[in-house]
Every structure is written in C-alpha cells, then in structure tokens.
Chain A
Amino acid sequence: MYLSCQGLTMAFGGLTALNDVSFQMEQGEILGLIGPNGAGKTTVFNLLTGVYVPQAGVMTFRDRDLGRLSPRRRVRAGICRTFQNLRLFSGQSVLENVLAGSCLRADYGFFDMVFGTPRYFRRERALGREAMALLEKLDLTPYAHSPAGALPYGLQRRTELARALATGAELLLLDEPAAGMNEEEAEALGKVLRALREEGKSLLLIEHHMSLVLSLCDRVCVLDRGRVLAQGPPGEATADPKVAAAFLGGGREYAGS
C-alpha cells in the first residue's frame, strides 16, 4: 500500500480531534479529505508530517513506518505539505522560497561550499535551473524576484505549491489549495494539479471547493468530528445521507462555495 493510516487517534487536552481514523491511498491517486470545519482534516496532515505525534495509530508510506521518522526524513521519503494559512518565507523572493524548498537536495559538503569545488558549483547551478523550471511550469516566472509576501493570494498559494514540489516530494499534502480563489482560478489550479498527477505525483488534498473536489478527486474521505464518515468516489460518498447531515445539519456552517 502506498499511504496507509490505521486507527489514528489524537486528543488535545480533553478535545478529541481524531478518533480511530483509517484510510488508504494508491500511488498516483488524488484523494480528497473533506468535511466541515473542525472535523480534524488538518490534524491528519499534522500527524502525517510529524508536527504532532498521534496517541494511537499507525501510518505507513511505501510500507515504511512514518511514526519512526523525523519530520525531515518524511520529506526525504517523499511527503511534503502546504499550509492552510500560508506559511511562506514572506520577506524572501519567490525564487528564494523555491530554493529553500530544494535545500535538502543540495548534496554537497560543507567544505565543497567553503572552497568552491566543482561539485558545489554543479549542484548549485542544477538546483537553480530546476527552481526556474518549476517557476516556469507554475507560471510564476514573472514574479521570481518579487517578495513572496507582497503577491496576491492565489500566487502565494502557487508559490507554496512550488516550494513543496521543489523538495522532490512525490506525495503532496495540500491544505485548501483553492481557498480564497474564484471559480476561474480554482479551475486553473485544477489543471495544474491534474498535470502533476500526470507526472506521477500523488495528491492528498483538503478542500472546501466542492466543484473542484468533484471534478478532480478519484476518491474522497469524509471526516466529521474526528471520525471517518464515508469513503469512496466523490459522487457516492457525498450522496450518503450521513454526509449531507454532517455538512448541512446540526446548525453548523459550511464554508464551501
């Protein structure tokens, strides 16, 4: 199994954010993680990337136990994320942000750097070229040297995606990549994400934009109050009456489009 979560449980103080959550993911799949606010979606990301340690449950990626890996090694293993509330290095340029993402692939030693060995220059040049190619692919080239924090929201989201891609990750965890976008922009983002899948990336995405979820995801996993409510193809899962109740009922507000 590519990515598998079994029985994830996480509580903060008295509040149980996740209760026995299990789901699995195939390679090359786009899996949507949906649910009302406070369902525990971002907590899943935080567990997968090692921000928090789950109280119970097992996570494996390519049959490796993620629980044993430091956050850094998880990125090395090929998992990288974006954030719901953008966390760019906002004073730095877009290019620098992307280059920060590729830091972990700079496989030259300290002395290579100090004495400027050919290996150092070769690797640095390669990283720079890759970063520029990545910007080109995400239509960010005109903004390469602009401070990331000054860009419009949509471009900042794309910069964060570029930074995550620069780590060389093959499984991307995207936390509301279309938040704050209009239909048109969301559509364009969908195209970018599909192109990434064509390249062999797998995507796990949290999204409230239902039209995007329905058109993009192969499967969805619906969370509510820390439990898995339903899983399956988007049409089927969202048709489940329990899901409709969770989204619309209980006086809870649904912040989707």
Chain B
Amino acid sequence: MIGRLEELCWRWRWCLGLLWLGIAASLPMWGLSRVQLRLILMIALYAMLGMGLDLLVGDTGLVSLGHAGFYALGAYGCALLQVRLGWSFWAALAGAGVLTAGVGLLLGLPSLRLSGSYLSIVTLGFGEIVQMVLRTWESLTGGNYGLRGIPRPTLFGLELTLANGGLPALALILATLTALFCRRLRRSAPGRALRAIRDDPLAAQMCGIPVPRWKIAAFVLSALITGLAGGFYSAVNGYLEPTNFPFNTSVVILSVVVIGGAGTVRGAVFGAALVQLLPQVFRGLEQWRFALYGLLLVLVMRFRPQGVLGWRSRVSYRLPGKEGQCTYPAKG
C-alpha cells in the first residue's frame, strides 16, 4: 500500500507541489490564531533543522550532538549583522549562513581523524563552547542579558510578522526549499557518495570517492541549513539569549531526525510535527508532559527503531530527467 502511495505521489508530484505552494502562499488569509500560526512556524523551522542534521546523521552517518551550536551561531550572526552593522534581514540571513557554513568547515576537520562516538562528543563540546562564547563575549552578544530589539524582516516594505502570517509563510518556504535541496542531493552523485561513506568509508574510498572532502562538505551543508534556520529564528523571536540554545535543543533536533526516520524528508517533517505537537497535546497533563515526551521517545525507538516513517522506499530508483517516470519497475 505504501508503495502505491509513493507511486501516486511521484506521478502527481507537480500537482502536489503546486497545491503545497498555494497552501503556503495563502497562509496569511486563513484566519488562524496566533498560537496555531506559531505552531505551524515552529514545525516548519524544526523540519528545516531536522533536514539539516539529517544530511549528517542519515546520509553521512555522523551523529552530531552540537547542532544547537550552529543554530545559535546562525541566530546570533543574523541578529548581530542587523543590529550592529545595520544590514537588512535578507543580507544578514545570507551572512549568517556563510558564517555557520564556515564554522561547519572547521568542525568538519576533526571528522577526518575521529570516528563514531568520538566525533559526536566533539560536536557536543562544540555546542557547549558556543554557549560559553555567547555568555562571555558581553560586548558583542550582550552576554546573559541577551540581545534585544532584533528587527522583523520586511518584504517589499511590508513587515513580516506572526500576526499577518508572513513569518509562518516564510518558514514554510524555507523548509520547502530545504526539502527540495535535500531530495535533489539524495538523488545525485554527491548524495550517493555520502551514503557510500556512511555504509563503509574504506570501500567508498576504494571506489574513488574523496571521503574527507565529502565528510567536510556534509558538515558545511548541514551547518549552512541549520544556520539559516537559526537566522530565521532570531527574526521570529525578536530577542536572543544563550539559554535559548541548550544541549537539549541539540537532542530535540536529533530526535526530529530519528523519530521520523533518518535519511528521509518525510521523516524530518513528521518528527518536527511530533516534537512540536506533543507538548501541546499533553498540555492538560501540565507537569508530566515532558516526562511523557521522554517516554514516547523510548517507546518509538523500542517498537520502530528505524523511525515511524522509516520504511525502505518501495518505488525503485529513478533516473532524473524530464521523462522522470519510473524507468525500471520495482521488484516484488
């Protein structure tokens, strides 16, 4: 059944895409409440964060526990470029992306020497160090007092806010672009190279894949996407403080990836929705909701360790191109 569904989605992908675009663009006109709009925005944002981390975790097999660090760098970078240098939001967002990608390059370097859990720990340390820098460098970041007065982004003179639906729409667009990018990457030679490295680095190297280069590239791309999400988050929040980016955030981003199913866009979207909706659903239980959230993580892993939507695609590999149809029928 899943195979049929995938096949249908593939056949009607252009229509689905247009439909999705319509939904995203008309979001401001739906008359949703602020709470609902914020929820949509946060789901889109976490889907984006999840997809960014997924490039490392799902595709390259490198588990990062420090993505809150990239998230924070993107947020602070974007905010500071606006507040201190007077850049426009869009320029600052791009600048923040470049900044985090550069830091991603630096953090990728240890991945050439360290493997598996050792690398995870270095990324974890990275996240903590970013927090320390944000706390300590008071003249730049405002330290523990935080950074206030971050302007809202404007588009053609119109200020994008939560209330007018502009920010959620922007979130959906950013998440969609990220999803398209990830999908394209996975269907291309670079994506195949990353998966080869994930499954067997030595065999990948013996196939002529430049393992160090692609590991670093994965870090850079992952950091770039996470940094852009961070920049966007700074615009949403309007103020920033170091406690916005604790280790728990890194864990939540990782949960987004793993709960839905690593290496897939649908998994990231599902994981993001779950992570954001659960606290809402369990709101009635007030003090117990985070405990339940932990329990749910355990249960999902216990009964579906590959992730809730982590099935192996039943639709065969497709060659890209205009004829894009299912070139070779799936077996079985």
A and B touch in the complex (CB under 8 A): yes
**A interface residue numbers (CB < 8 A to B):** 49, 51, 71-72, 75-76, 80-81, 83, 87-93, 95-96, 99-104, 106, 108, 110, 113-114, 116, 120-121, 124-125, 127-129, 132, 142-147, 163-164, 167
Q: Is the CB of B205 within 8 A of A72?
A: yes
Option from B192, B206, B312 in Cβ contact (under 8 Å) with A49: B206
Q: Does B317 contact A (CB under 8 A)?
A: yes
Residues of A within 8 A of B319 (CB): 124-125, 128-129
Q: Is the CB of B320 within 8 A of A103?
A: no
Q: How large is the interface on B (under 10, 10 to 19, 20 to 34, 35 or more residues)?
A: 20 to 34
In the assembled complex, how far is the CB of residue B325 from the closest CB belonging to chain A, in whole angstroms? 13
Q: Is the CB of A124 within 8 A of B208?
A: no
**B interface residue numbers (CB < 8 A to A):** 181, 184-185, 187-190, 192-193, 195-196, 199-200, 202-210, 312, 316-317, 319-322, 327-328, 330-331
Closest to B322 in A: A121
In the assembled complex, how far is the CB of residue B293 from the closest CB belonging to chain A, in whole angstroms? 30
Interface centre among B193, B195, B207 (most CB of A within 10 A): B207
Residues of A within 8 A of B210 (CB): 72
Selected A-B contacts with CB under 8 Å, 15 pairs: A71-B208, A87-B200, A90-B199, A95-B316, A100-B192, A100-B204, A100-B207, A101-B207, A103-B192, A114-B184, A124-B319, A124-B321, A132-B328, A142-B331, A163-B207
Q: Is the CB of B203 within 8 A of A106?
A: no
Closest to A128 in B: B319
Interface secondary structure of B, over-half rule: loop
Closest to B330 in A: A145
In the assembled complex, how far is the CB of residue B211 from the closest CB belonging to chain A, in whole angstroms? 8
Q: Is the CB of B188 within 8 A of A113?
A: yes
In the assembled complex, how far is the CB of residue B192 from the closest CB belonging to chain A, in whole angstroms? 5
Q: In the complex the two chains form, what is the Cα distance from A103 to B187 in whole Å?
A: 12
Q: Is the CB of B192 within 8 A of A99?
A: yes
Q: In the complex the two chains form, what is the Cα distance from A144 to B319 in whole Å?
A: 13
Q: Is the CB of B205 within 8 A of A71?
A: yes
Q: Is the CB of A100 within 8 A of B317?
A: no
